[in-house]
Structure 1
Amino acid sequence: MIVYSGTISKFNNDVDNGIIADLVKSELEKRNITNNNQSEFRSWDNSLLHMKNVLDIPEISKDIRVAIEYQIPATSKRVDFIIAGKDENDKSNVVIIELKQWETAKRTSREDIVTTYLGGANRAVTHPSYQAYSYAKTIENYNEYVQKKNIELFPCCFLHNYREEHRSELDNDLYSDIIKIAPMYLKQDTKKLREFIRKYVSKSDNGELLYQIDHGKIRPSKALQDTIVSMINGNQEFYMIDEQKVVFSTIKKLVENAISNNKKYTIIIEGGPGTGKSVIAMNLLAEFRSLMVNYVTKNAAPRNVYFSKMRQGKFKLNYVKNLFKGSGAYVASKKNDFDCLIVDEAHRLNEKSGMFANLGENQIKEIINASRVSVFFIDEDQIVTTKDFGSINEIKKQAKLLGSEIFSGEDYRLTSQFRCNGSDGYIAFLDHILGIRDTANYDGFDLDYDIRVYDDPVMMRDDLRGINHIDNKSRMIAGYCYEWVTQKNNSEEAYDIELENGFKAKWNFSSTNTWAIDEDSFEQVGCIHTAQGLEFDYVGIIIGKDLRFENGKVITDYTKRAKSDASLRGIKSKGNYELADCIIRNTYKTLLSRGQKGCFVYCEDKELSDYMKNRLANIVKR
């Protein structure tokens, strides 16, 4: 999605008339992207004036098209400035420019990471050249036109306020590789930037390329489970962006330090659904594959899927078994048996291990003890059972007891959305609609994400089935409000979930361990335990009677859960109804955020259905 576009002539005039920042802000608002960030508004005024000075020379054709604030598909990230056209040989090219107002920055020992003053503090961020490069590679991955037509994207960065005396902090041997790929220009390098632009774009293509980038077909999103074999083989499938890269490079450096200095570190990475926790975890697994490393998760569903994919990739059985582990595998481990343990979905860790919770003392303690570096990816808003023991406080407590240095905080927090078509606003909408927290921008997403609320579950399933026929990447998932009838009655006529209009379906529990990827599993319905930790193109969510809309608000009712649901075990005896309320809301947020491209919803409670439809209608009207 391009926010502003036009010829260089139009762009120059809008800058000269002092309206460019207002136009960009207005276009964002038209697309339901609220923006109250005054510093960003000032950056448009400042940075775009400098870009006008770069482009406003006779040697650069005023008919060449430019674009401002292009939102990269399937992410919440926007490219600052794009110039598109043809070179002297009539080859179509795109120049991507990352604009920075920085005056100074500091080098670090971390790969492609620098520090600079942002938001009132010194922060670790990606080198501007890496940022431009990662944005370009992500566009290449998602835009079918760019790939099929062999359109080349040439990234660079322009630090128009940066002081020359600090150049060596950014331009040195530490960053030479990325600067070769994506050159860095300061204010004194304006002529060099012009030469870079003119080398690749010297003629107008009448806007054809920008149109195709903005309106062209988007390639299917990559699901982590489909790329794991390639990643473990050392191929780069996901180009980590911004805070993802900061987290990855920081962990990589800490693992290197721990091994060389015989230190013990515990790293806590916070991030909501779709922020890339599992992508970073798998990239770390691939990076450290020559070390003693495990990917750890309590959830069996993703482990089973990854195991299946790895076996299909011809990896040996013992290698795969030793790569993916459940969270109870370290009861008998000795101190520092492993170089690194990468713990995904750490909020799902149990206190004790074993089928009867009678083994070990504390899973968090055992994991930290077993590894030089323990990395915990956690989202406390995805706690979905009374047994979920993982918390930031408990991790810190056990790390201190074991003498492991703790790394957490701002540099270890993931915020940007890479699922749900990259819509941060959709996640805020879920928080608001489910009553998890009040969010200022819950009605601020642009509806590129395909969310539909159905009155008929049969129609929802039919529509989802049609999409699933394309690539087998859509699934139905329900809240656990329906008894597992087919556990004892496996006849064809027996069903677990029966809804209005003749909808009947079975739970997937007894069908397979790899329901998420099997060719014939669409008709079975998954639950939180078989869906958490995985992602799909589209999901169809059945919201049971444990979530309703009454007296003007969304309420939960734990008594409407299936009696066989172990996730709320002990709630009644302990009287912890606040925890039950939290678990139900967290469960539906987790389910409603599983889809990369879209989410179809059916609510048993008609008032809740109407409420959701009204909220969505208000967004459309804006």
Structure 2
Amino acid sequence: MYVHRGTISEAARQSVRPEFVDECVARFRSRRGMDPGEEEIGSWRRSWPVLLDALVRAGLGDLDVLLELSLPGTGERVDMAVVGQDTDAELTVVVVELKQWTWAVPAPGEPGMLEVGQRTLPHPARQVGGYAHYLRDWAVGGTGIQARGVALLHNAGAELLGHLRAVLPPDSPSAEFPLLGRDDIADGVPADELADRLHCRGLTPAPKDAIDRFLAGEHRPSQRALQRLADNIEGRNRFPLVGEQDRARRAILDAVKEAGGKGPGGLVVVTGGPGTGKTAIAARLMGELCRMERRNPRLLTTSGALTKQLQRLLQDESRGLVATFKQQPPSGLDKSSVVLLDEAHRAETYPEQRTSGFPASLRNLLERVGVLVLFLDERQIVRPTEGITLDELESHARESGAVMRRVDLETQFRCNGSQAYHQWVDLLFSADRTPQPWNSGGYDLALGPDPQALAAWVDDHAAQGRSARITAGFCWPWNAEAVPPLEPEVAIRWHGPDEDEHSWARPWNLRAERPVPGFPDVPPRPFWATDEGGHDQVGCIYTAQGLEYAFGAVILGADLVRRDGRWQAHPEVSHDARQLRELSPRRYLRYALNTYRVLATRATHGTRLYSTDPETQDYLASLLPGS
């Protein structure tokens, strides 16, 4: 997504028109469902013409430019991206970070960060380097894209530029990305030299269809994230984080250093909704902690599926380091240990096992280690025997004397980076709020007319090599054996426009933890979300949570229906654990809403919703376009 696409020459002519920025604001609003800030709009007016003029003077007018380009699958935006092809005809994207700074100093105690006015911000070279590395590694599945980067501080003089260049170590990865000031793009600079400074020398116009493929390409960040974790465990430090993810990583490392193995365990709580990068940050931290002395780290997850994914990628290197956390802390922990607990909202915290209102399992873990880092999203708690809240953690820290630090993540990296979609889903699956009809172009969301259409939509994506899955509420029996052939237990009947009765059925995902010989297209339970063949089965909350895929169809069962303008829960129709079925409708409602919110936020590119309840389906139809 972008607010303008065209040649550099055309954009340069347009940028001097007073109404050009207003038109870009309107596109931003239509695609994101919100307005950019006034400060950002002012920055567009002041910075775009400066850089576009320099690009034209460098003889690059025929190349394409994208203004305010959203990085694939993220909520981060690049100020400007110049797109061409290199001498080998490979698509090349030059990301440009624009700054109006005239003053900046290193932030005390935060290497790589700068104080600019009242804000602490990444060094520009580091920021643009994160964008370039991200594109190299993850755009279009990490193939076929060359990425370069440059930061332009067009108001900065030689003194500031020299200072900023000096604080970058020569061997720093960020040294690859030059810093330019006003003198570097002055009128007298020869065209070839100017093109070289802007990292665009040798680029020629790229075919339009190649740019189209880059913009529409599938993005699979979590699979890349898991692969990078393996590299980090082996000490290669190749897991770049973007924006606030990197700031969160540094805040956690600061807390680790402060704890120092003395007194009550240090507690760091990282909060963020689906797709904000919690697992990515945990992976990067684990790699770094493994290289630090006397940290004795562990990476724990409460999701067996996520643990198996990590262990498969890490193979022998994961032994003793990556595990599923249930009730007991792993062996070998001491006050030098740093434990990262991903998906902490699914930790088993049985109410009857709580002492002084705090879960015994987490208390025992916290007392054993130097620092416990919890990655938490309270709205992903889906059982009464699971989860912990921020209030409970803060209360425990006060009572125990533990030092607690909190890091909040807001930018999400799933659902094509659409903040509007995440906000819409939060409102949809809320007990007391209602969203407006969906009208944003930033994410592919629609209503599925019936299960057959959902399945056809998923099958079509799978046939084209895209990851696509169907999930459903736990409203059908799950009695199949742990080996194929699987029984089609998710069975739905409905009446179509012709008034005839139709039926559709598919099996739940395989129960087995490992592949079953002779059935290569039936992935085991932990790998249903990622492995070939998973689109032929239906997943539930326990196989989908913590993972992602490109396209997702969500079937709402009869346990959550819309009546009289509100959601109503029917735990008696659930086939989940007894602990859920025996809850009152009032208590069950929270877990049902959380469950469907999680299922609706697994897909990176597109989602289809369908309810088996006709009245609820009509309600969804009032909010969504048809598929």
Partners of 2:434 and 2:16 in 1: CA distance: 37
Distance, in Å, in 1 between the alignment partners of 2:265 and 2:7 is 56
- Which position in structure 1 is the counterpart of 2:185? 190
Matched-pair contact (CA < 8 Å) for 2:310–2:322: no
Deviations 1:166-202 (A, max 9, x none): 6577443356525421122234543489845345436
Distance in 2 between residues matched to 1:87 and 1:106, nearest whole Å: 36
The structural deviation recorded for 1:498 is 1.9
**Corresponding position of 2:44:** 44
Judged with a 3 Å threshold, the aligned counterparts in structure 2 of structure 1 residues 68 and 265 are, in CA distance, closer, same or farther, namely same
Q: After superposition, what is the alpha-carbon deviation per residue over 1:391-412, rounded to whole angstroms, capped at 9, x for unaligned?
A: 112222333444332211xxx2
Q: Tell me the distance in 2 between the aligned counterparts of 1:19 and 1:424.
A: 27
Asked if the contact 1:86–1:201 (Cα under 8 Å) also holds between the matched residues in 2, the reply is: no
Question: How far apart, CA to CA, are the structure 1 residues paired with 2:139 and 2:486?
Answer: 46
Aligned length: 593
1:191-590 aligned within 5 A: 191=186, 195=193, 197-198=195-196, 200-201=199-200, 205=204, 207-208=205-206, 212-216=210-214, 218-224=217-223, 227=227, 228-235=229-236, 238-259=239-260, 264-290=265-291, 291-310=295-314, 313=315, 315=316, 319-330=318-329, 336=335, 338-351=336-349, 362-408=360-406, 412-435=407-430, 443=438, 445-447=440-442, 449-468=443-462, 473-486=467-480, 495-500=488-493, 501-508=502-509, 510-512=511-513, 513-516=525-528, 517=530, 519=532, 521-551=534-564, 553-562=565-574, 564-566=576-578, 568=580, 571-572=583-584, 578-590=586-598
Percent identical among aligned pairs is 23
Q: Which amino acid aligns with 1:101?
A: Q
Show CA shifts across 1:441-498 (max 9, x none): 8746325x333422321332243234335558433221122233447x9997965322
Match of 1:141 in 2: 137
Aligned amino acid, residue 544 of structure 2? A
Paired residue type of 2:328: A
Q: Tell me how far apart the structure 2 counterparts of residues 26 and 528 of structure 1 sit (CA, whole Å).
A: 38
- Sort the Cα spacing of 1:497 and 1:103 in 2 relative to 1 into closer, same or farther, 3 A: same
User: What's the TM-score, normalizing by structure 2?
Assistant: 0.82
Contact 1:85/1:202, CA 8 A, preserved across alignment = no
- Unaligned runs of 5+ residues in structure 1 are none
Instruction: Tell me what 2:80 maps to.
Output: 81
- Label 1:563 to 1:221 Cα distance change in 2 as closer, same or farther (>3 A): closer
CA separation of 1:559 and 1:32: change in aligned 2, threshold 3 A: same
Alpha carbons of 1:141 and 1:304: their partners in 2 closer, same or farther (altered >3 Å)? closer
Deviation track 1:298-329 (CA, whole Å, cap 9, x = no partner) reads: 2222223333443xx3x16xx52442131422
**2:82 alignment partner AA:** I
Instruction: Output the aligned Cα RMSD.
Output: 3.8
SS of 2:425's partner is helix
What is the distance in 1 between the residues matched to 2:252 and 2:475?
A: 40
Shift of the alpha carbon at 1:134?
A: 1.6
Distance 2:603 2:37 in 1: 29
CA shift for structure 1 position 586: 1.1
Q: Secondary structure at the match of 1:289?
A: helix
Q: CA deviation at 1:499?
A: 0.7
SS in 2 for 1:342: strand
| One-letter amino acid of the structure 1 residue matched with residue 116 of structure 2 | T
Superposition deviation, residue 102 in structure 1: 3.6
CA shift at 1:284, angstroms?
Answer: 1.3
CA pair 604-231 structure 1, distance change in 2 beyond 3 A: farther
Q: CA deviation at 1:154?
A: 2.4
| Change over 3 Å in CA distance of 1:434–1:264 after alignment to 2 | closer
Distance 1:230 1:55 in 2: 38
Structure 1 window deviating more from structure 2 (71-80 vs 432-441): it is 432-441
- 1:570: how far off? 6.0
**What's the CA shift for 1:589?**
0.7
Is 1:601 the counterpart of 2:606? The answer is no
**TM-score, normalising length from structure 1?**
0.83
Partner of 2:123: 127
Change (3 A) 1:247 1:16: same
Aligned to 1:600, what secondary structure does the other structure show?
A: strand
8 Å CA contact 1:60, 1:198 repeated in 2: no
- Kindly state the Cα deviation for residue 343 of structure 1 after the two structures are TM-superposed: 1.0
Counterpart amino acid of residue 497 in structure 1: V
Counterparts in 2 of 1:440 and 1:558: CA distance versus 1, 3 Å: closer
**Does residue 610 in structure 1 map to residue 618 in structure 2?**
yes
Matched residue type, 1:43: S
Q: Following the alignment from structure 2 to structure 1, what is the Cα–Cα distance between the partners of residues 376 and 168? A: 31
What is residue 153 of structure 1 aligned with on the other side?
147
Q: What amino acid sits opposite 1:541 in the alignment?
A: V
Q: 1:211 to 1:159 in 2, by over 3 A?
A: farther
